[in-house]
Amino acid sequence: MRKLKQRWEISSNWQLAVVFIVFAITGSTAAKLAAPLTQAIGITTDHGWYVYWPIRILIIFPAYQVLLVFFGWLFGEFRFFWNFEKKMLRSMGLRFIRV
């Protein structure tokens, strides 16, 4: 845990616990939201797994990005998650995000 705290520049175990909780809530919420959103656009498992799952994953990805910053703000860790988000998007090749 010490290396993770150092890498993320986190000072306390409490802050680390909050970060883990935010990651857990964000992942669960994004996955839960994907089902109704795919139904809303008319994509169901009847279209086949090769259509349904790629579209569902494409829905989960941006939802996760937005929810991560939102839940980070809600739990008082906006700065950490905003910087985390920018680093993640930059590492994916989206260079329009400036730090």
Q: State residue 18's pLDDT score.
A: 96
For residue 18, CA distances in Å to 24, 51, 70 come to 10, 36, 14
pLDDT in tens, the chain (99 residues): 888 888 998 989 999 999 999 999 999 999 999 989 999 999 888 888 898 999 999 999 999 999 999 999 999 999 999 999 988 888 887 766 555
d(CA 80, CA 76): 9
For residue 83, CA distances in Å to 41, 77, 90 come to 32, 10, 11
Residues 6+ apart with CB under 8 A from 80: 8, 10, 15, 19, 72
Instruction: Tell me the whole-structure pTM to 2 decimals.
Output: 0.82
What does the pLDDT look like over 43-70, one tens digit per residue?
888 888 898 999 999 999 999 999 999 9
